[in-house]
Amino acid sequence: MHILITGAAGMVGRKITEHLLKNRRIRGRDVTKLTLHDVVAPDAQPTDAISILPVAGDISDRTVIDRLVSEKPDIIIHLAAIVSGEAEADFDKGYAVNLDGTRHIFEAVRAQNYKPRVINASSIAVFGTPFPEPIPDEFHLTPLTSYGTQKAIGELLLNDYTRRGFFDGISLRLPTICVRPGKPNKAASGFFSNIIREPLKGEEAVLPVAETVRHWHASPRAAVGFFLHAAEMDLSAVGPRRNLTMPGVPATIGEQIDALRKVAGEKAAKLIRREPDPVIQKIVAGWPTQFEAKRARELGFKADESFEAIVRAHIDDEHGGRAPVMG
Amino acid sequence: MHILITGAAGMVGRKITEHLLKNRRIRGRDVTKLTLHDVVAPDAQPTDAISILPVAGDISDRTVIDRLVSEKPDIIIHLAAIVSGEAEADFDKGYAVNLDGTRHIFEAVRAQNYKPRVINASSIAVFGTPFPEPIPDEFHLTPLTSYGTQKAIGELLLNDYTRRGFFDGISLRLPTICVRPGKPNKAASGFFSNIIREPLKGEEAVLPVAETVRHWHASPRAAVGFFLHAAEMDLSAVGPRRNLTMPGVPATIGEQIDALRKVAGEKAAKLIRREPDPVIQKIVAGWPTQFEAKRARELGFKADESFEAIVRAHIDDEHGGRAPVMG
């Protein structure tokens, strides 16, 4: 089985790649080849069982896409995207990559006239305030960013291409990934991860919002699990509505800090410095806080068990089970 | 004031044009010019007060669009589209006209860097079964046709371009237009109009579905009223969600026939021939039957008063107040 991953050099892409190289089977078949695309060529190493074709290129360039799809990969995991902040700052680039790039992939698949499985990364950014809490599966999409708009359009296209029989598609609306490994970044949502990751390393983290702020989280491990489940499952069970809100853990900042304290002690919790930021507070006030995600749960997609489980998964995956600051 | 209408040779486009040529004022200003676009040049005649620029061209061609927008029309009424059946039969053409054409218009406006009003024709085809009845304003869009998908994408784009300040936009999800003047056509929805229009002329009409089938109707007169209201109103009152389901009249086929009988007598009603068609029955079973349309009503959009009023409007507008078969 040949699997293509776009945006494979990103955090989720690397973790899916690692998993596939280790576990090597999907739907009862051996994975034999990975085509790994990103703007810079991903650096995963082939094994005796699995060859790797790294491809560097811009997905807004149809010739890049035609090359990616020309060998008819059995499963396409489409992660490549310009992130929210950049899509807002550069209107043309956001549409070129997030809309045209996605459409190029779908069109290239249609042109090849085979029917692979296409697993598309969407986002809870397709929702915009005001909304009920939790948001039910049948609530309309009212994105308040260009990124969210582009993801919502990708969902509509995926559904139509699936309905027409050009491929067998599914879109996963990912929760905010927490704890995101690596360095603190300037994304408005960065603090959700920073306040867990940094204290576990003995570093200070800034909290710009109130402890009452609630948000919808999935660990990197859960996110990888969503994609693997989407690769394994019987997609006909999904029915004609192929765009699913993934289950997550709804936690307030206070609950996040309690979980950190429980796992790593007061010493870790004390490394969180309150520094209210009205700009970030305003942005975050427009974000969804929780979802029903009933359909996805019924279809077997699994959230982390609790925010504490999210903290423990981070320590397992990034610190080999024991963080520098613990207990 | 200069108004551009795309798809101006269609039924709604012609009726809006007629209205503007007669009434000549929008938002307290004189209408002085109409640019009328369609695949064949619309044939409206200029008046002393209003000049007309007819433009023939394919809106999937960006150069056509740039020409349409180059004189910076104050209001753009975007009606041009490939209809549902054709968009389903010709996938490429449907996307080229209904998606790319719409995007070309929005992009051409952005490139001109002025902020006109853009009034976009959408459709209840953005909804697909199953749904609650009536469908509330916050129900998600799950189109089951490529046409509905393209209209839903146009709505998302319109909302984002409006949010970004490139234009001031509004999309109107039109009910099924009934009674549609002209000859019976092969559209699956044609019978809703045929069973009223043909008997009023003394001609037989075929009814392929049961009398219990309910649908959502607006007269051509009401549809024109929606566009004129969208041209007149204060769009800031709409808020950030610019895509509105228009109000309509929910009528069963039985209620349609009762209205025909009341207006034109048993002789007209007897010209309807029951000829059940399982193919059409199946298509129609997937269509929405009624909507809340609460937001649009609150914003001043007005439906016809009843199905009887729809029949009377047809007789007024197409037969000068007296149909061949009446009473």
Q: pLDDT at residue A224 above 70? A: yes
| B270 Cβ under 8 Å from any chain A Cβ | no
What number is the ipTM of this complex?
0.96
pLDDT cut 70: percent of chain A above it: 99
Q: Hey, are the CB atoms on B152 and A157 less than 8 Å from each other?
A: no
| A159 Cβ under 8 Å from any chain B Cβ | yes
Distance from CA of A216 to the nearest CA of B (A): 20
SS3 content of chain A, % helix, strand, coil (to 5): 45, 20, 40
Q: A174 vs A6, A127, A167, A222, B140, CA distance in Å?
A: 16, 12, 21, 10, 18
| B149 Cβ under 8 Å from any chain A Cβ | yes
Q: Hey, are the CB atoms on A138 and B143 less than 8 Å from each other?
A: no
Q: Which residues on neighbouring strands pair with residue B78, listed in sequence order?
A: B6, B120
Q: What is the pTM of this model?
A: 0.97
The model's confidence at residue A226, banded by pLDDT at 50, 70 and 90, is very high
pLDDT cut 90: percent of chain B above it: 93
Q: Which of A141, A143, A144 has its CB closest to that of B140? A: A141
Q: Per residue in B260-291, pLDDT tens? A: 999 999 999 999 999 999 999 988 988 999 99
Average pLDDT for B206-217: 96
Which residue, among A140, A166, A238, would best test binding to B if mutated, counting the most B CBs under 10 Å from its CB? A140
Q: B237 vs A90, B44, B118, CA distance in Å?
A: 29, 33, 15
Contacts of A160 in chain B (CB under 8 A): 143, 146, 149
| B140 Cβ under 8 Å from any chain A Cβ | yes
From A141, which residue of chain B is nearest by alpha-carbon distance? B140
Q: Which of A138, A139, A149 has its CB closest to that of B160? A: A149
Q: Which of A149, A163, A240 has its CB closest to that of B156? A: A149
Q: Which of B91, B139, B240 has its CB closest to that of A144? A: B240
- Residue A189 neighbours by CB under 8 Å, 6+ apart: A176, A215, A284, A287
Contacts of B137 in chain A (CB under 8 A): 140
Average pLDDT, chain B: 96
| B210 Cβ under 8 Å from any chain A Cβ | no
Domain A175-219+248-289+304-327 CATH assignment equals 3.90.25.10? yes
| B206 Cβ under 8 Å from any chain A Cβ | no
Q: pLDDT at residue A228 above 70? A: yes
Average pLDDT for B35-56: 96
pLDDT score recorded for residue A327:
64
Q: What is the dihedral of CA B162, B120, B189, B175, to 10 degrees?
A: 70
From A127, which residue of chain B is nearest by alpha-carbon distance? B140
Which residue, among A124, A137, A142, would best test binding to B if mutated, counting the most B CBs under 10 Å from its CB? A142
Q: Which of B140, B144, B163 has its CB closest to that of A139? A: B140
Q: Per residue in A200-216, pLDDT tens? A: 999 999 999 999 999 99
Average pLDDT, chain A: 96
pLDDT cut 70: percent of chain B above it: 99
Q: pLDDT at residue B186 above 90? A: no
Residue B34 CA to residue B50 CA, distance in Å, equals 7
Domain segments of chain B as ranges: 2-174, 175-218+248-289+305-327
Q: Hey, are the CB atoms on A140 and B138 less than 8 Å from each other?
A: yes
| A89 Cβ under 8 Å from any chain B Cβ | no
Q: Hey, are the CB atoms on A143 and B160 less than 8 Å from each other?
A: yes
Q: pLDDT at residue B106 above 80? A: yes
> Residue type at B240?
P
From B100, which residue of chain A is nearest by alpha-carbon distance? A100
Q: pLDDT at residue B29 above 70? A: yes
pLDDT score recorded for residue B327:
63
CATH entry, B175-218+248-289+305-327, from 3.40.50.150, 2.60.40.2250, 3.90.230.10, 3.90.25.10: 3.90.25.10
- Which is more confident, A74 or A84? A74
Contacts of A91 in chain B (CB under 8 A): 164
Secondary structure of residue A48 in the 3-state scheme = coil
Q: pLDDT at residue A184 above 90? A: no
Average pLDDT for A160-167: 98
Q: Per residue in A259-297, pLDDT tens? A: 999 999 999 999 999 999 999 998 898 899 999 999 999
Residue ranges with strand state E in A65-114: 75-78
Rounded to 5 degrees, φ, ψ at A193 are -85, -40
| B294 Cβ under 8 Å from any chain A Cβ | no
Q: Hey, are the CB atoms on A138 and B140 less than 8 Å from each other?
A: yes
Average pLDDT for B144-170: 97
Q: pLDDT at residue A317 above 70? A: yes
Residue A321 CA to residue A311 CA, distance in Å, equals 11
Which residue, among A153, A167, A171, would best test binding to B if mutated, counting the most B CBs under 10 Å from its CB? A153
Architecture of domain A2-174 in CATH? Answer: 3-Layer(aba) Sandwich (3.40)
pLDDT score recorded for residue B187:
77
Q: Are A42 and A54 in contact (CB under 8 A)?
A: yes
Average pLDDT for A16-25: 96
DSSP secondary structure code for residue A139 in this structure: B
Q: Hey, are the CB atoms on A140 and B141 less than 8 Å from each other?
A: yes
Q: Per residue in B229-271, pLDDT tens? A: 999 999 999 999 999 999 999 999 999 999 999 999 999 999 9
Rounded to 5 degrees, φ, ψ at A240 are -75, -15
Distance from CA of A160 to the nearest CA of B (A): 6
Average pLDDT for B133-161: 97
Distance from CA of B93 to the nearest CA of A (A): 14
| A164 Cβ under 8 Å from any chain B Cβ | yes
